[in-house]
Structure 1
Amino acid sequence: MKLATLKGLSPDGELFVVSRDLTRAANAAHIAPTLQSAIERWSEVEGQLLELSSAVNDGTARGTRTLDLKDCLAPMPRAWQWLDGSAFEKHGELMQQAFNLPPIETDKPLMYQGLSDRFIGPYADVNLPSEEDGIDFEGEFGVITDAVPMGTSAEDARAHIRLIVQLNDWSLRAIAPAEMKTGFGWVQAKPACSMAPIAVTPDELGEAWQNARVHLPLKIEWNDKPFGHANGSEMAYGFDDLIAHAAHSRSLVAGTIIGSGTVSNEDYSSVGSSCISERRAIDMIEFGEVRTPFMSFGDRIRMEAQTLNGEPLFGPLDQVIVRN
């Protein structure tokens, strides 16, 4: 099942069920007015949403409309909680090697709590204050959970993954080091994230959903030039582990979004990277100097993961950086 949010009367938009090829959609407000409402009542509404999804796909749903993905908001325009992991070991290893950083001594997943009161839509311009802040993109996968009890194990956490999404976790790299040194976490260095237009149930990935990981490449183009197509399969910790980590000392509210961190692979020389910071680290390792600049106003970034058969899945993120 594929779900989207279009503009509605509230900032949370209005829930639609989308055809598998992303060309048609049917309003689902009579079942659940918003995606947040659906997640909170998932056991109650899932069957009705699935029936509507089947009808949309076989062409029998009433009131079906042609879907223009540019009309979509983020599937969840705002959330109660956004927790982002850093689950790809190669990314951390490259950063440590390039900039002589000590390894982080921990046997637990890395995770921070970020801005959740808004997620930027898939085609909306991204407003930022200054190029001097070191504007960077971070291509990620994420999951949306229902309510997760405190102390949930990784094994039990899998049953709480309701939807999978594709994200761009924007970062301002020039600000991040100073904020990290304070020990209080990021505020200015982490503006709102962007989200691809479609949220999908895990079954839509077929064999590409294994061990609570997305076994698909995330294709990234920067100013229409290929930048990377790293695969989400190489997470050191799966989304089940990330959920269990987050729920160790707190319950997670329905609608919690958890990110994978920058998708990164061992074979980075062939598949590229999912953020500029990693590419700059590779520059340092290979050339002894940084050769890749951060983003400028007017730059365009496009990200999209497709199924193993090359069919649309989350739809693309296609955005331009503009001065605020």
Structure 2
Amino acid sequence: MKLASHNEGADGRLLVVSRDLTQAVPAEAATTLQAALDDWEAVAPALDAQYRALNNGTAAGAAPLDPASLAAVLPRAYQFLDASAFLEHNFILAHAWGIDRRTPADPPLIYQGLSDRFYPPHGDVPFRSTDDGIDFEAEFGVIVDRVPLGTAPAEALGHVRLVLLLNDWSLRAFGPEEMKGGFGFLQAKPPSALSGIAVTPDELGAAWADGRVHLPVTVTRGDTRFGMPHGREMTYGFDRLIAHAAATRDLCAGTVIGSGTVSNADAAAVGSACIAERRGLDTIAGVEPVPFLGFGERVRIEAFDAAGKSVFGLLDHRIARR
């Protein structure tokens, strides 16, 4: 099924959305997505019944879906954990910057990010200065139910309730110093944006396999395609990421886990999902690096299925001066 949150209050109003993203109906079994995640086993059958009714045209109260009325699918969360699960991204930056390459034998890198709010999938995103190195990062993500401490990778995917798309906004001017400090990101990571739509794994069909989203993500900067890297090259699947995060603690229901920047071995051909990686490629090629984002620029991120249909809806943002 496909779920969304209407922009009402701090936590939104949970909606059930049709497969083609054209119709929606208020969920009857839970008023917010967090409430549904807290009691998923009890709530999910009723949500699924509404979803099936919506798709066959018999859902009471159905109305056209207005994408502009949507909040982030989970407007705020108890926890946001963001990984760097595509090692090709590390390989490119390691080559460009002369740093050590990581290997698949290394544990995944995950930081704990800001989660008291997520930007909606559309509209202006405020920043204080272009000197901060404003960048986007197109990622896939999952939302889990409660994951017990010590959950193994083989069990972890059973806790994935929803899959989504996200933009992990980054301020590159702060990243190097914060990473050298070894205490995690703070100023380098403003709020992220979540897609308006999240889908259950079964909705993806063959595109959900091995704990990975086997779909390309299309990134457009202004009117120009910036990249279309594919999710299948994720080095660490979400099973590994969930198990790593839960090694020493429970994960609460509603924890959002991001994949990190989607990146492919042939990035020079398919493009990138963030500016930092493109700048790394420019450095390797010996050309002037592309600039970071300026005020007024527009960034769009979307993932399409094999039939060319949008899966999570469009993330469409404009860089605004605070």
* Superposition CA RMSD, Å: 1.0
Partner SS for 1:142: strand
Q: Is the 8 A contact 1:281 1:290 kept in 2?
A: no
Aligned to 2:148: 149
TM-score by length of 2: 0.98
Q: Is the 8 A contact 1:213 1:239 kept in 2?
A: yes
Larger displacement relative to structure 2 (306-315 or 127-136):
306-315
Aligned to 1:166: 165
Give the AA of the match of 1:73.
A
Aligned to 2:176: 177
Give the AA of the match of 1:303.
I
Partner SS for 1:127: strand
Q: What is the number of residues matched between the two proteins?
A: 321
Aligned to 2:211: 212
Query: Displacement of 1:103 after TM fit?
Result: 2.9
1:129-159 per-residue CA deviation (whole Å, 9 max, x = no partner) reads: 1100000000000000000000000010010
Report 1:145-294 matches (<5 A).
Answer: 145-287=144-286, 289-294=287-292
Q: Is the 8 A contact 2:141 2:259 kept in 1?
A: yes
Partner SS for 2:122: coil
Aligned to 1:117: 116
Aligned to 2:63: 65
CA distance in 2, matches of 1:296, 1:225: 15
CA distance in 2, matches of 1:107, 1:278: 21
**Counterpart check, 1:23 vs 2:22:** yes
CA distance in 2, matches of 1:44, 1:125: 37
Give the AA of the match of 1:321.
I
Task: Structure 1: state its 5+ residue gaps.
Answer: none
Query: Displacement of 1:104 after TM fit?
Result: 4.5
**Counterpart check, 1:309 vs 2:291:** no
Counting aligned pairs with the same residue, the percent is 53
Partner SS for 1:167: strand
Partner SS for 2:123: coil
Query: Displacement of 1:318 after TM fit?
Result: 0.4
Aligned to 1:83: 81
1:189-214 per-residue CA deviation (whole Å, 9 max, x = no partner) reads: 00000111100001111111110100
Aligned to 2:99: 101
Query: Displacement of 1:290 after TM fit?
Result: 3.7
1:302-324 per-residue CA deviation (whole Å, 9 max, x = no partner) reads: 00001111112100100000011
Partner SS for 2:320: strand
Query: Displacement of 1:120 after TM fit?
Result: 0.2
Query: Displacement of 1:277 after TM fit?
Result: 0.2
For residue 44 of structure 1, the aligned residue among 33, 42, 48 is: 42
CA distance in 1, matches of 2:123, 2:193: 9
Runs of 4+ residues deviating >4 angstroms = none
CA distance in 2, matches of 1:103, 1:122: 33
Aligned to 1:3: 3
Task: Structure 2: state its 5+ residue gaps.
Answer: none
CA distance in 2, matches of 1:220, 1:259: 17
